[in-house]
Amino acid sequence: MLFDPNAFLNATVTGAMSTRVPVVPEGEYIAGITGVRVRAVTRDDGTQAVILDVTWRISDSPALSDKDLANVPVRQSIFLDLTPEGTLDLAPTKNIRLGRLREAVRQNDPGRPWSPKMLEGQVARIRVTHRVDPETGDVYNDVAQVNAV
């Protein structure tokens, strides 16, 4: 079936749509990485920050009492340290959170070439925490820690 934009714009639905992201209870879960993307944001001081967003999906886990939450995406956002040339900075004090993620999925080998896309499909133990939007009061799921399975 081909998508028809005009038919879509004229189609009707009956029922309400969700207005809040489902909240996964804080805790540790086994999860897989379903996607990675990078984005740039402008800080208040006008400088640019580069962020790697890693999307996790929790496996069907005994720790997750509501099984519908196993399909809720949980995001981990990692601020990246870059060199002046725009590549990942490998200095000892740089990209520690990214290094921990790579270590958890056994991709932190100094002798092997690596790219962020290689994270997709990897599995680890994540710790989910909550972040509250101060303006709206909405609660968001965040990944605070990643460890090897």
Predicted confidence band at 65 (pLDDT cuts at 50, 70, 90)? low
Which comes out higher in pLDDT, residue 63 or 13? 13
If one counts the domains in the chain, the total is: 1
Residue 12 placed within a domain:
no
Residue 40 placed within a domain:
yes
The CATH number linked to 53 is: 2.40.50
Supply the pLDDT for residue 71: 77
Residue 94 placed within a domain:
yes
Share of the chain above pLDDT 70, in %: 95
Domain hosting 66: range is: 21-147
- pTM, two decimals, is 0.84
**Please, how many CA atoms are within 13 Å of residue 48, restricted to the half-sphere of its CB?**
8
| Each residue's pLDDT tens digit, 97-130 | 999 999 999 999 999 999 999 999 999 999 999 9
Residue 108 placed within a domain:
yes
